[in-house]
Amino acid sequence: MRKGVVTLSENVLSLFSIVISLILIVIVVHMVFSQQTSRTHDEVFKSVGREIAIAIDRAAALAGSGMIEQEIPKGLKMNITIDYKSIFMTYDGKTIKKSFSGLLNSGPYRFENPEVLCIIKNRNNNKILIVDKPCSTQKELVGS
């Protein structure tokens, strides 16, 4: 009789070890995917900041007047501050900084959850203005 009890407890231990192994596998897989999702989420914001910086540099390089419209992907909630040669994007308690080389000669600018940014260069005073409205509504700011 004693021999059967030992066999039963070995089977129970084997079952517990299998269950624990499966739980550990699920936890590891979940951690890998959640970490990857977090990195991808951060990369989206970095990409948007990089695109805004490139658009500002392109506008600064224009010989005359011009407008560049930069759309922000739908669903991204962030606060953007554009100051002298820096863009600060705040989202989910995190802040990303991107730099650009063009001179604004104006600003700082602060936008809360913008959908689009219109970057306007006026050749008369070389100022770069940034508004959170489509460029099609900003023709009067370009200058001749």
Over residues 4-15, the pLDDT tens digits come to 555 567 788 888
SS3 of residue 71 by DSSP = strand
Closest by CA to 129, choosing from 69, 51, 79, 72, is 69
Residue 103's beta-bridge partner residues?
A: none
pLDDT digits (tens, 9 = 90+) for 58-103: 998 888 888 999 999 998 899 999 998 999 999 989 999 999 998 8
pLDDT given at position 80: 95
CA–chain centroid gap for 100, Å, is 17
Which percentage of the chain shows pLDDT scores above 70? 90
Domain hosting residue 17, numbered range: 2-141
Number of independent structural domains in the chain: 1
